[in-house]
Amino acid sequence: MRAPSTGREVIIEAEPGRVYEDRETGEELEVVGMLLPLAPTASELPWSIENLRFCNWCDELAQKDLNDCPNCGRRMDPLPD
């Protein structure tokens, strides 16, 4: 969340429908970004670009250490050497 006049940013777990105010200026904070929870996965790898590949069936991202796509459930092609 960000205070429009100062640009001061705060990262908080916000509740829907609640108004948050900057403690220094008292102005209403605006939402500038949201984090979405990730679905549970069998992978042990962190969700980062160097650990991801595209499923050859549905073109969705999946971790490199998975054999089956978590999105479509089909077996992915082996990784190239």
Q: Give the pLDDT confidence of 23-72 residue by residue, as tens digits.
A: 999 999 999 987 766 677 788 888 888 999 999 999 999 999 999 999 99
Domain parsing of the chain, residue ranges? 1-35, 37-81
pLDDT at 36: 66
In 1-81, beta strands by DSSP E: 52-54, 61-63
Task: Say yes or no to pLDDT of 80 above 90.
Answer: no
Distance CA 44, CA 77 (A): 19
- The two three-digit tokens of residue 67, written as one number: 């054999």
pLDDT at 76: 97
Distance CA 53, CA 68 (A): 12
Q: Give the pLDDT confidence of 14-27 residue by residue, as tens digits.
A: 888 999 999 999 99
